[in-house]
A and B are shown apart, each in its own frame.
Chain A
Amino acid sequence: MIARIPTDPGFWLSRVPGLSDLGERERNVLAAICEVEDYVPGATIVEQSSRPPNIPVHVEGTVDAIYMNDQFRVPILEIKAPELVGFLWFLNPQARSPVAFIAKERCICLNIRTLDLENLYTGGNALAYPVLATLYRHAAAQFRFYNDAFRLLYREPGNTYMQLMKLATPEEEGAAE
Chain B
Amino acid sequence: MSPVDGPPIPMLIDGLSSWRHLLPADPAFEMDIAKIQSLAEQVPALSEFSDEALKGLIRRGRILKADKGTVIIHEGRPGHGLFVCLEGTLTVRRQVFDRFPVFANLHAGDLFGEIALLTGETSTATLITSTDCLLLLLPTKAIKKAMDEGDPDIFTLLRKVVSTIQERTLTTIARMVDVYGAPQKHIPLFERMYRRSKGTAKSSES
A residues engaging B (CB < 8 A)? 65, 67, 69, 72, 74, 76-77, 87-92, 95, 97-99, 121, 124, 126, 129-130, 132-133, 136-137, 139-144, 146-147, 149-151, 153-155, 157-158, 160-161, 163-165, 167-168
Contact = CB atoms under 8 A, between A and B. Distances in A.
A146 B172 contact: yes
Given A67-B181, A161-B194, A129 B119 contact: no
Contacts of A153: 176, 179, 190
A124 B153 CA distance: 12
B96 A154 contact: yes
Task: From B94, B155, B172, B176, name the one whose CB has the most chain A CB atoms within 10 angstroms.
Answer: B176
Contacts of B1: none
Contacts of B183: 164-165, 167-168
Interface residues of B, number: 44
Given A91-B159, A167-B180, A154 B166 contact: no
A167 B185 CA distance: 12
Contacts of B124: 144, 147
Nearest to B166: A88
Contacts of B22: none
Given A129-B155, A139-B118, A161-B194, 14 more contacts: A88-B170, A98-B177, A124-B152, A126-B150, A129-B147, A137-B118, A139-B165, A140-B119, A140-B165, A143-B168, A144-B121, A146-B169, A151-B96, A164-B186
Nearest to B96: A154
B74 to A, nearest CB: 16
Contacts of B161: 136
B184 interface: yes
B163 A88 contact: no
